[in-house]
Amino acid sequence: MSTPALTSKPCHGLVIMRGNDAIHLGLMLLALAAAYLVPFELLLLAYVVLGPAHYFTEISWLHDRSYYLPHRGIAVALAIVAVVAALIDNASWFGFAMWGALIVCAMLAATTSAVESMLLFMAAIALSAIMYSSGSSLAVIGILIPTLVHVSLFTLIFMVLGAYRSGSRVQATLVVVYLAAIATILLLPQTAEIRIASFARVGQDYFGNVGPALGRLFGVPGLVLVPTFLGT
């Protein structure tokens, strides 16, 4: 049985939303509502349950496509880099490892000629020099690549590419909804608090540095993403 296409079908000047697009819209709105009602619990669910489940179901699909790299062995090398990076205590060196891995992957997967690879490499060297001279920038990028960039920015890129390739106005609308949801959360931050003490401790241990990193990046001092614990 084939999977229904993620496209919309024009009819007499109108656009009819297909089933998968309607599901995607409903899930985005549900996630937005949950982000206000139980923000941190939703974050834990995404990272502890949904994230691993996503990769568990996707890994064979990526393997069949050689992970979009010239050779599958490169994916093994990147996995080793990830394990080693997880053992790095210094935030700047960790950021350098994440930044370097991202650039290497971009050169291997997104460029089609030696000239493009060289231009990307030169741009990466220039940006690396700027971040190095800024002191804490490498540490910040190390925090943001596996969180904000990987989860949010890459999702946006995939959605935009899908809408562009399919020529679907409905999928383009879903991109707008996604951006509107992010803007809503940034402009009208959540006020819900964590009611389970263990969740508050986990949040501080694993995600407490994301808020300050975003604050340094955007010039917002004292930015905290982990809600406070509401004791009884």
Query: Tens digit of pLDDT per residue, the chain (232 long)?
Result: 434 444 444 444 345 567 888 888 999 999 999 888 887 777 778 877 888 888 788 888 888 888 888 888 888 888 898 888 888 888 888 888 889 888 988 888 888 888 998 999 999 999 888 887 776 678 788 888 888 888 888 889 989 988 998 888 899 999 999 999 989 988 887 765 666 666 666 666 766 677 777 676 666 676 666 555 444 4
* Inter-residue contact 109 to 130 (CB < 8 Å): no
Beta strands in 85-169 (DSSP E): none
The confidence score (pLDDT) of residue 198 equals 66
The confidence score (pLDDT) of residue 118 equals 92
Angstrom distance (rounded) from CA 176 to CA 82: 33
CB atoms within 10 A of CB 55: 10
Count of alpha carbons within 13 angstroms of residue 157, beta-carbon side: 7
Reported for 2-11, long-range contacts at CB under 8 A and 24+ positions apart, including other chains, are 5/166, 6/162, 6/166, 6/168, 6/171, 7/166, 7/167, 7/168, 7/170, 7/171, 8/168, 8/169, 8/170, 8/171, 10/169
11 sits in the region (left: phi over 0; alpha: psi -120 to 50; else beta) called: beta
The confidence score (pLDDT) of residue 7 equals 43
The confidence score (pLDDT) of residue 89 equals 84
The confidence score (pLDDT) of residue 76 equals 87
